Every structure is written in C-alpha cells, then in structure tokens.
Structure 1
Amino acid sequence: MEDYNYVHSDTDLDIISKKEFWKLIKAGLIIDARAGGLILGPSIEQGGIDCVAETPDGFTKIGKIEGGVFIVNSLANKNYSDKLLAFNAYDTLFYEDEPVDYIISPTTCVYNTYGVEEKLVWLRGDEFIMNKYASFKFLKEIEEINYFDFRV
C-alpha cells in the first residue's frame, strides 16, 4: 500500500481477531467496500474513518480515509492506475467544478459512515483511494472505471 492512499495514524497495526470481526459485521459496524464506491463520512480533521484489511493474524487497521473519497476496486486500480493517479493530482475544488447535471450512477455503491463513530471500512489493501476533490470533479469517469472492473 502506498502512502498517498491513506492517512496513517496511531491506530495502525491494531489487530482485530477474526471472531471479533464477524461480531462487528453482525452488529452492522463493518462496511465492506472492497468492490469500491463513494464514502460518506467525517473529514480527517473530524476524526476520519478507520480502514481494516485482512491479514493472517486477523484484521489490521491500515489507516484512515475521509468522507468524500471514492474507493476504486483492486482490479480497476491495477488496470487504470496511471489514469487514477492523474485524476488524483487534482487536489483543490473550484466553484466551476460543481457538476450541474450529473447524478450518482445506480451502479455505484454509496457507503454512509455518519452516525456511528465505530464503523470500519473493510478493504483488501490494494484499492486506489481517490481524494475527495478528484472524486467530486471526475465522479462520472471514476464510476465508469470502477464499474467496468467490478469483479475483483
């Protein structure tokens, strides 16, 4: 995993046992975002959203993301990494960038982390995390890339 994808924190390397992880799933505290999609939730300044990935020892906290990012699945990341990197270089938002006639595609998963601070986002660890500014500006193109390579 590369540093541009996540904000690493002091929670990195916390291990959650597989038994505890499945309890968290049953309690609705795990969001399975391995297929990609748009994340709604707090900014990094507001605490962000913890991400976990499976390891032989259990599930490890791998960092934090923030609301507004788009997770691009592993296969799409592998096939379109150059294009995604180019999109992700966009790190500012301008008024003229606001889409006026685009609605999120019905094929896009939207994951809401608001309301429960303990929610964890489950990733494989090799997805591409599109920053919130690039996600906003290039949403249609990112959705198409993610959907085209949906099967991971």
Structure 2
Amino acid sequence: MKYKHYNKELLSDDFINNLISKNDFIDGRDGGLVLGNSHENGGIFFLYQFPEGFRVFGNIEGYEYIVNKESTDKNRYDLEKISDFDRDFTDVFESYEIPKGIKIIDARKNNKESKYILLDVRGKFAIINKYSTKANLSKIDFLNKK
C-alpha cells in the first residue's frame, strides 16, 4: 500500500514502530546517494524527529544525493554551484553504474513503496537533484565525507 502524507504530518508511534519492525526506516542523517522510487512512482518520504514524535517534511527521489548538515555548512558555495538543474537536466534520466565507495542510502522496498528516511531536524542539509548528482557524483560524495 502506497501512503500519502501531508506536510508536517505527525506519524503515530504505531506507524513508526511498524516501519522499524519491517526495516523500512533508514537513518539518513550522515547523507548519501539515495536509491529508491522516482517522484513519478511516489518518491521517498523524509522525516524529522521532534520531542512529540516523527513528522513528514518532504519527498525526495532515487538518485538524488543528501549531503549531511555539517558538510553542507562547510561546502555550501561548492554545493550550490554543483546543483544546477537547468544546466544538467536531460529529457530522459538513465540509471547508471554507481562507483565503488559511494555512500548509499538504500530506500528501495518494491515498485509501489519506498522506505522512510530520517534526516537531521536541524535542517540545512543539501539535496542535490538527480541530474546534477549524476554529473558530479564523486565530487558530491567527497564533499559529504569531508
């Protein structure tokens, strides 16, 4: 079953515990290349943890890259230059072979669903679009690990 969520929706403890028991909840706070559904196929929800529980804060898609907060703070200028959708967009996105050593966040579950990703509630992490990620993957991964 594909879930639909609204922005800032508070997810029940039962819902989160069910995700955890099925291994459908991923800690993405360290960043990495996201593998999972495209936006056209429902994308991947990301959550923040608050004292009152977990809230839905957005939807990303496979082949986008999440750069952790600390690396984003240190490398914001370089990341802004890298993430240029207009420059890197192509009509058809082709998947590609991922080089060894790239940090991966594997949110794949099946064709109709994705796992949920926990991101840093402090925000200020970068999400690099999939076209710019493809063109600059090794550099982005290097910056994420700095």
Both proteins in one fold, TM over 0.5: yes
Matched with 1:119 is: 115
User: 1:147, CA displacement in angstroms?
Assistant: 1.2
What do residues 84-113 of structure 1 show as CA deviations (whole Å, max 9, x unaligned)?
A: 11111244345xxx9x9x852425124142
Superposition deviation, residue 56 in structure 1: 1.9
TM-score (ref. length: structure 2): 0.79
**Structure 2 gap ranges (5+):** none
Kept in 2, the 8 Å contact 1:87–1:134? The answer is: yes
User: What corresponds to 1:106 in structure 2?
Assistant: 101
Sequence identity (%): 30
1:21 CA drift (Å): 2.6
In the alignment, which residue of structure 1 is the partner of 2:139?
141
Task: Confirm or deny: 8 A CA contact 2:36 2:107 kept in the other structure.
Answer: yes
Name the Cα RMSD after superposition: 2.6
Alpha-carbon distance change, 23 to 114 in structure 1, aligned in 2, over 3 angstroms:
closer
Q: Pick from 20, 28, 40: which aligns with 1:25?
A: 20
Alignment of 1:1-152 (within 5 A): 11-18=6-13, 20-91=15-86, 92-93=88-89, 103-106=98-101, 108-115=103-110, 117=113, 119-125=115-121, 126=123, 127-148=125-146
Greater alpha carbon shift after TM alignment, 82-91 vs 67-76: 82-91
Aligned partner letter, 2:137 = L
The residue type paired with residue 39 of structure 1 is: V
Kept after mapping to 2: 8 A contact 1:105/1:143: no
Conservation of the 8 A alpha-carbon contact between 1:12 and 1:63: yes
Q: Describe the superposition over 1:57-86 as per-residue Cα deviations: whole angstroms up to 9, x where unpaired.
A: 101000100111001011001100111111
Counterpart of 1:54, as a letter, is Q
